[in-house]
Amino acid sequence: MSTITCIEDLRVLAKRRVPKMFYDYVDSGAWSESTYRDNQQAFERIKFRQRVMVDMAGRQLSTTLMGQQASMPLALAPTGLTGMQHADGEILAARAAEKAGVPYTLSTMSICSLEEVAAAVSSPFWFQLYVMRDREFINNLIDRAKAVGCSALVLTADLQILGQRHADLKNGLSVPPKLSARVIADMLTKWRWCLAMSKTKHRTFGNIAGHIKDSTDLTSLSKWTASQFDPSLSWDDVKWIKERWGGPLIIKGILEPEDAEEAVNAGADAIVVSNHGGRQLDGAVASIDAFPAIAQQVGNRAELYIDGGIRSGQDVLRSLALGAKGAFIGRPFLYGLGAMGEEGVSKCIELIRNELDITLAFCGLRNIADVDTSILRPGSYPTVNDEQR
């Protein structure tokens, strides 16, 4: 195995080691994937101002995220089917995040359950909630998140219906995978994945299995899940969830200032500017291009985070320069997980930390708290009046 020096190296290795349907689940978007591509390209358009002959010693990356100490302004985003990238994936990712001193967010659609992840770490993690039609199940899920000590609830707002993801449809994505001749042939080339998966009991949706009515097998579980996303979800539901949860609430999936205003009014303590990694509405604006208008709308009434297209510590720094409190990564840590398990997630975080640290120095700063648009070249970064919006 060659030396891992960047996130792209982890992606290439993950593609070799993860079964096609699960790799494609991560590394694809909706429809033509134009938003998926633009998320990353929008960051690349933003240029830094390099400063020289300044004191670069003693740099400081630590911060607070949702009132908690973090070693740097980074969080691991909620990602479904994480345990299908590598056996016990959620547990491994949570452990790596804890060791690195950054928050981990567990998805409702995780393979390992809330309780199983909590038993594997000593630090509190965040929990991401999909609101489903079965409100009794949602009530129970919130109670379970409280019981294991989750310190923030992340409510995803942009998945009331599922975007059309061509790769998943063509691959016949299922959990666990249906063993067709094509799938078996692919898995025979992914022996590491198969060996690890044979040693774990976690092969279905851990937060759902055993906690819903009339689910006697995997087929009925899959049907229940597919039927449960609630297209009638409204801001009134958000207010109810905020009251029911009673703790810090993060709303993820905001792209427009009007929706950011609604989120704050409904009780959001933080907002994640996100287009779901280009997996929902193809043709939506890139997350970083949407950010300035939302920052202007919300001001300091809520912490602002960003998700989508981040592939380096430089992208994290670009986000901070535009006013983000921190950045969420999804695909990068999943590449690491698929490539090398827990070690790969740790490597992903380490790469981003080093890139963030070195770029901060090149921009002439020593403290992450001092970052603003002065480190960016005028005309290269999006603004509220940018015509590309």
Give catalytic residues, as residue numbers. Answer: 276
261, 271 contact by CB (below 8 A): no
Strands (E), 72-199: 74-76, 105-106, 126-129, 152-156
Q: Do residues 104 and 93 lie in contact, with contact meaning Cβ atoms separated by under 8 Å?
A: yes
370: tokens are: 């001092």
- The Cα–Cα gap between 384 and 389 comes to 8
Question: What does the alpha-carbon distance between residue 366 and residue 63 come to, in Å, rounded to a whole number?
Answer: 13
CB contact burial 30-48 (16+ within 10 A = b; e otherwise): bbebebbebbbebbeebeb
DSSP state of 285: P
Residues 6+ away with beta carbon under 8 Å from 386: 289, 292
Cα separation of 311 and 351, whole Å? Answer: 10
Q: Return the residue matching tokens 């539901």.
A: 237
CA angle 110, 170, 209 (to 5 degrees): 25
**Cα 77 to Cα 119: distance, rounded to the nearest angstrom:** 20
d(CA 212, CA 226): 13
Cα–Cα distance for residue pair 83/374, rounded to 1 Å: 41
Pairing of strands 326-329, 152-156: unpaired
DSSP result, 305-329: EEESS--SHHHHHHHHHTT-SEEEE
How far is it, in rounded angstroms, from Cα 326 to Cα 302? 12
Distance, CA of 354 to CA of 249 (rounded, Å): 30
